[in-house]
């Protein structure tokens, strides 16, 4: 168990065209494998496209094509001996609305687990909740002695989720976004501000919980921010260029030492009962 993991953080212009998305996934997986990556991390809805943005209704998508594409990705993982974290939607138990999911595919080409987005945007029946069902559980896994967790997009607004993973002993969180496909007007109205707020909040959550975080986003114009990797001290290790496809290779050593001013109080704060003095 080395405690060292080489990760690839992806971004490409996700669309409603599953074949085009699959072509990008294949290309970038080959790039990641050639660079020696253990895992490649794709954005939210990266193979399926995003319901309500890329297409109006989940039934507008060719589900047979989507399922055959996911099978192709399983083979891709096996062929290149690399783990793949890929975004799609997932129907279960005759659901009317699918989960917004991340499939964790191992290097043997097997779906090892699936994370379903737990906190969706909007009130009931509106925004994301109009199209998706909410998941119910955290998901963790290990590679080379490194414990990992999964989150999706809007969940960046809930610091409790990062703390939950810290308490589970997670070293690195793979978090996938779809914050793109904005008009020029939409970008300047809200996307640009989100492009500062989201990375800033993620950096704070990394530092507050001493976590590595890989942030993958679509780069479809206009995207709010580019993919990046944050260290446990809150500093950005690397980042990609906004609106441009790319793969970011990062070497994560969980034994590396970082400044951690809250280390001596973090567990104490977690155990505190409401009303107890600091």
3-state secondary structure of 165: helix
Residues of the chain with pLDDT > 70: what percent?
A: 97
Which pLDDT score, from 0 to 100, does residue 93 have?
Answer: 83
3-state secondary structure of 119: coil
Q: Which has the closest alpha carbon to 21: 12, 32, 33, 29?
A: 12
Sorted by where each begins, the domain ranges of the chain are 4-271
Distances (CA, A) of 15 to 47, 49, 141, 175, 216: 8, 5, 29, 19, 15
DSSP string, 180-208: ----HHHIIIIIHHHHHHHHHHHHHHHHH
Cα dihedral 116, 121, 125, 129 in deg (nearest 10) = -20
Q: Is the pLDDT of residue 274 over 70?
A: no
Q: Are the C-beta atoms of residues 245 and 11 closer than 8 Å to each other?
A: yes
Q: Enter the tokens of residue 146.
A: 């490194």
Distances (CA, A) of 141 to 63, 146, 169, 274: 28, 8, 11, 32
Give the pLDDT confidence of 78-128 residue by residue, as tens digits: 999 999 999 999 999 888 899 999 999 999 999 999 999 999 998 888 899
What is the length of the chain? 278
Q: Which has the closest alpha carbon to 140: 121, 122, 157, 165?
A: 165
Q: Are the C-beta atoms of residues 3 and 33 closer than 8 Å to each other?
A: no
Cα torsion 262, 267, 268, 271: sign:
positive
Q: Is the pLDDT of residue 153 over 70?
A: yes
Please tell me the distance from the alpha carbon of residue 205 to that of residue 198, in angstroms, as a whole number: 11
Q: Are the C-beta atoms of residues 38 and 5 closer than 8 Å to each other?
A: yes
Which pLDDT score, from 0 to 100, does residue 259 have?
Answer: 95
Conformational region of residue 94, where left means phi above 0, alpha means psi within -120 to 50, and beta covers everything else: left
Q: What's the pTM?
A: 0.96
Q: What CATH architecture is 4-271?
A: 4-Layer Sandwich (3.60)
Strand pairing category for 140-143 and 111-116: unpaired
Q: Is the pLDDT of residue 186 over 90?
A: yes
Which pLDDT score, from 0 to 100, does residue 34 have?
Answer: 98
3-state secondary structure of 95: coil
- The DSSP element (H or E) to which 6 belongs, if any, is strand 4-11
Q: Is the pLDDT of residue 254 over 70?
A: yes
């Amino acid at each position: 168990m080395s405690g060292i993991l080489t990760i690839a953080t992806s971004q490409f212009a996700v669309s409603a065209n599953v074949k085009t998305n699959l072509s990008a996934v294949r290309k970038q997986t080959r790039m990641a494998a050639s660079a020696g990556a253990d895992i490649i991390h794709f954005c939210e809805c990266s193979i399926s496209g995003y319901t309500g943005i890329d297409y109006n209704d989940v039934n507008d998508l060719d589900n047979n094509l989507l399922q055959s594409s996911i099978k192709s990705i399983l083979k891709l993982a096996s062929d290149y001996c690399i783990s793949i974290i890929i975004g799609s939607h997932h129907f279960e138990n005759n659901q009317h609305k699918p989960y917004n999911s991340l499939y964790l595919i191992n290097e043997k080409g097997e779906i090892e687990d699936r994370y379903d987005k737990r906190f969706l945007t909007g009130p009931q029946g509106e925004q994301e909740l109009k199209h998706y069902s909410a998941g119910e559980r955290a998901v963790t896994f290990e590679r080379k002695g490194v414990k990992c967790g999964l989150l999706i997009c809007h969940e960046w607004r809930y610091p409790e989720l990062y703390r939950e993973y810290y308490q589970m002993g997670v070293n690195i969180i793979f978090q996938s976004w779809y914050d793109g496909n904005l008009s020029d007007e939409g970008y300047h109205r809200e996307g640009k501000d989100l492009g500062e707020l989201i990375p800033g909040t993620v950096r704070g959550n990394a530092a507050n919980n001493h976590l590595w975080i890989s942030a993958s986003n679509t780069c479809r114009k206009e995207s709010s921010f580019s993919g990046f990797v944050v260290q446990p001290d809150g500093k950005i290790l690397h980042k990609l260029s906004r609106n441009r496809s790319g793969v970011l290779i990062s070497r994560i050593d969980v034994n590396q030492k970082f400044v951690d001013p809250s280390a001596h109080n973090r567990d104490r704060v977690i155990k505190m009962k409401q009303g107890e003095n600091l």
